[in-house]
Amino acid sequence: MASLGEEASDQIKVKILAQDSWTKVSCPCCVSDRVEPLVLIWLTDKVQPLTRKWLISLIEDSKRHGGAALLAHPGDDECGDVIVVSASRCNLLKATEDLGLCKKYQDGDMIPFSYQDRDNFSNVDDMTEFLTLAERQYIVKNELDSLQAQKKQKIPGIGDATGVLQAWENVCQKLVKAGVIKDIFPLHDQQKLKELGKKWYSGKQIWGQPLDEIHSYFGGTVAYYFSFLDFYTWALVPSAFLGLFLTFLMPGGGSSVELGDVEDDDGPSVSGHMVQAVFSMLWSTLFMEFWKRRSSSLSYRWGTLQLSEGFAEPRPSFHGTLGINPVTGRMEPLFPEWKRQLRVGLVSVPIVGLFMGLVVLGMTGFYYGEALAKGFHQDSDSWFSKGLLYLPSMVHIVYTNMLGNVYSTVAMQLTEWENHREESSFQNHHTTKVLLFTFINNFAVLFHIAFYKQDLPMLRKRLVSLLILTQLLNQFTEVVVPFIVDRFLSDPQKDQPEDEIEGDQLRAQTSLPPYPGLFSEYIELLLQFGYLSLFSSVYPLTAVFLLLNNVTEIRGDSYKICKLFRKPFSAPVSDMGVWQTAFEVLGFVSVMSNCWLLLLSPRVQEFCLEGGISSKNILLFAILVEHVLILLKMILAFMIPDEPDWVRIKREQMEFHSMQALVRQKL
């Protein structure tokens, strides 16, 4: 698979799946020459043909009978461990309306798709044009996820107690638990992937990414991540220039030119320091505000301005006693809100607090151990004691890593146990937990050095080593290692001749590891953003390093998602979700941090002492400045509209038209 990109042939010769094995469709408009394979259900080896047949019939069955009304194909080969799934045109169109996706109307505007009015939308006859690949695959996944047992029943071919489906139990989830389904994932389209790769990471186009193509191939969440990465990288340019200017051209700033030399100087001059702090505060505000504008115009372009989350089904793993939902009147599992809040308040919050305490404890232990080791070394001064000097930081690294691993499991299980009904609520709670920990874990030491030890040269040293080391390490583990594994160590099966049968080719995608998700990517960006906005006034070159890092990060991430993993599902979304909030909160913390860093800067202190200002008055002044800056930041954020005028007008037009339509229907 992965070696396809390097071959010269533009045509990929594959025999397609036997057409007549697909589910037959009765609806005349859904009949087509070729059914496009969209999603692969990968079964385990031990699955009985009986179970497989039952699953296929469930997928094909009409919704009235509790099926998903999708098209299924058993695969053309003998081993029969896959089911290929697709969807008919009518189904796709109806799902488009349910999702609230906007599509291009005949007059060129994007408006919410209406099935009744379908003939007035552009490209409605060709599903591959009308919906993006990612949207088609997401719709199929959605339909599969909504499969529920109509009544209590046994799964054919599974003997023991694991094979009993309760009424209203989620079928796919049950099958995963029962060891029938290994994974469900969307299929790559090699032709398109190759075209995308050419535009994206292989070569000429260094500035800019093909965002629309990324959105169309990988879908909303992925496209938003790369758009944000793109926007962020560009936004770093002015910061980087300022950093270069302050470091190399500013009078008095020259002393911190050399990297190895950071420990001796006391940083940029007072005015440079202040310029950097104020700039940093302004920059982080403007950055987020303009990203919101960018985000809303992307949302219009990608038709997600009016997504109807509506009254979604509960998430698959939500459980509770069966009852009638007071809002929708539907039969579904119910779980009282107060019980969830009790769980969050009495269990989750203390446990998260405990882990954060453990991080701080670890840090304290490290400093204590370091002091001990130093004392011991000074007393004995042997080879052994020299070795001991490294012990505390090694123990600390191991401790931190283990804690991080344990915590990520705990956070996931706690959130699962909180039993959120909506996926968005689940995501918010999970992300918040992880973010709090990550934030403490990564910034505690820096804050400790900055505000407790008040040792700015050490802060600078630490920041530089973090910037350089962690970035190199990240790039290495994220891209280089998987690349080597992929290229030299992986499954020889992948180098088969290209004119294989499509079914085999599709199954071959199971040999790739599953995509680990965007969570860690966002965390990485957030940490970076933290280094920059919280501490860059100590080391103005931060932005330069981040800029360099991001340029390679874009290539690395894109290569990774295209070549090294299974394609992920990606929902249509209208923004970055909870991550946007996380970045904004960090922006607020940055104002405080910059204020106090400024105050602590030895040059500022010196300057004030020379001017005969008492340290108490400096402190009072700093408090005043902090409050005024936060006020300014809030006013600035309030003054800049969150969406450009043209998007606002488009959105209001949509709202007005839907209101008008409602009135017309009433008359």
Which range, of 46-54, 80-88, 292-300, 303-311, touches a copy of itself by CB under 8 A? 303-311
From residue 314 to residue 353, the character string flagging contacts with a copy of itself as x (rule: CB under 8 A) and all else as - is: ------------xxx--------x-------x--------
Q: With binding defined as CB under 8 A, does residue 656 bind a copy of itself?
A: yes
Query: Closest by alpha carbon to 72, among 44, 91, 98?
Result: 91
Helices (H), 146-248: 171-177, 190-200, 211-218, 220-244
CB nearer to a copy of itself: pick between 54 and 535: 535
How far apart CA 164 and CA 166 sit, in angstroms, is 6
Which range, of 112-120, 152-160, 170-178, 543-551, touches a copy of itself by CB under 8 A? 112-120
- Give residues 558-597 in contact with a copy of itself (rule: CB under 8 A): 592
Residue type at 153? Answer: Q
Residue type at 88? Answer: S
Which range, of 20-28, 80-88, 379-387, 615-623, touches a copy of itself by CB under 8 A? 615-623
Q: Least CB distance from residue 392 to a copy of itself, whole Å? A: 28
How far apart CA 39 and CA 85 sit, in angstroms, is 5
Torsion of CA 77, 79, 82, 88, to 10 degrees: 30
Among 120, 445, 616, 643, binds a copy of itself (CB under 8 A): 616
Q: Which tokens is 377 given? A: 């070394």
Contacts of 594 (CB under 8 A, 6+ apart): 277, 278, 280, 281, 533, 534, 537
Q: With binding defined as CB under 8 A, does residue 623 bind a copy of itself?
A: yes
Contacts of 425 (CB under 8 A, 6+ apart): none
Among 311, 390, 476, 621, binds a copy of itself (CB under 8 A): 311
- Give residues 114-143 in contact with a copy of itself (rule: CB under 8 A): 114-116
Helices (H), 178-210: 190-200
Q: Least CB distance from residue 320 to a copy of itself, whole Å? A: 16
Size of the site for a copy of itself (CB under 8 A): 29
CB nearer to a copy of itself: pick between 116 and 409: 116
Q: With binding defined as CB under 8 A, does residue 666 bind a copy of itself?
A: yes
Q: Which tokens is 317 given? A: 């793993």
- Give residues 143-202 in contact with a copy of itself (rule: CB under 8 A): none
Q: Least CB distance from residue 506 to a copy of itself, whole Å? A: 36
CB nearer to a copy of itself: pick between 468 and 613: 613
Q: Least CB distance from residue 593 to a copy of itself, whole Å? A: 11
How far apart CA 529 and CA 586 sit, in angstroms, is 8
| Three-state SS annotation for 270-325 | HHHHHHHHHHHHHHHHHHHHHHHHHHHHHHHHCCCCCCCCCCCCCCCCCCCEEEEC
CB nearer to a copy of itself: pick between 429 and 560: 429
Which range, of 156-164, 247-255, 416-424, 650-658, touches a copy of itself by CB under 8 A? 650-658
Cα distances (Å, whole numbers) of residue 1 to 51, 203, 564, 654? 30, 20, 9, 44
From residue 355 to residue 394, the character string flagging contacts with a copy of itself as x (rule: CB under 8 A) and all else as - is: ----------------------------------------
Which range, of 31-39, 257-265, 515-523, 613-621, touches a copy of itself by CB under 8 A? 613-621
Q: Least CB distance from residue 338 to a copy of itself, whole Å? A: 8
Q: With binding defined as CB under 8 A, does residue 205 bind a copy of itself?
A: no
Q: With binding defined as CB under 8 A, does residue 107 bind a copy of itself?
A: no
Query: Closest by alpha carbon to 466, among 437, 443, 482?
Result: 443
Q: Least CB distance from residue 3 to a copy of itself, whole Å? A: 49
Q: With binding defined as CB under 8 A, does residue 638 bind a copy of itself?
A: no
- Residues 535, 586 contacting (CB under 8 angstroms): no
Task: For residue 9, count CB atoms less than 10 angstroms from its CB and return exposed for 0-12, middle for 13-18, buried for 19 or more.
Answer: exposed
Which range, of 126-134, 173-181, 503-511, 645-653, touches a copy of itself by CB under 8 A? 645-653
CB nearer to a copy of itself: pick between 218 and 579: 579
Q: What are phi and psi of 241, to 5 degrees?
A: -60, -45
Query: Closest by alpha carbon to 39, among 79, 70, 81?
Result: 70
Q: Least CB distance from residue 655 to a copy of itself, whole Å? A: 8
Question: The dihedral of CA 652, 655, 660, 663: what is its sign?
Answer: negative
- Give residues 452-511 in contact with a copy of itself (rule: CB under 8 A): none
DSSP states of 76-134: SSSS--EEEEE--HHHHHHHHHHHT-EEEBTTS-EEE--STTGGGBTTTT-HHHHS-HH
- Residues 288, 493 contacting (CB under 8 angstroms): no
Among 360, 621, 627, 628, binds a copy of itself (CB under 8 A): 627
Q: Least CB distance from residue 542 to a copy of itself, whole Å? A: 24
Residues comprising the chain, all counted: 667
Q: Give me the half-sphere count of Cα atoms (radius 13 Å) on the Cβ side of residue 651.
A: 18
Q: Least CB distance from residue 55 to a copy of itself, whole Å? A: 30
Among 162, 615, 621, 628, binds a copy of itself (CB under 8 A): 615
Q: Which residues of the chain form contacts with a copy of itself (CB under 8 A)?
A: 114-116, 308, 310-311, 326-328, 337, 345, 592, 615-616, 619-620, 623, 627, 639, 645, 649, 652-653, 655-656, 659, 662, 665-666
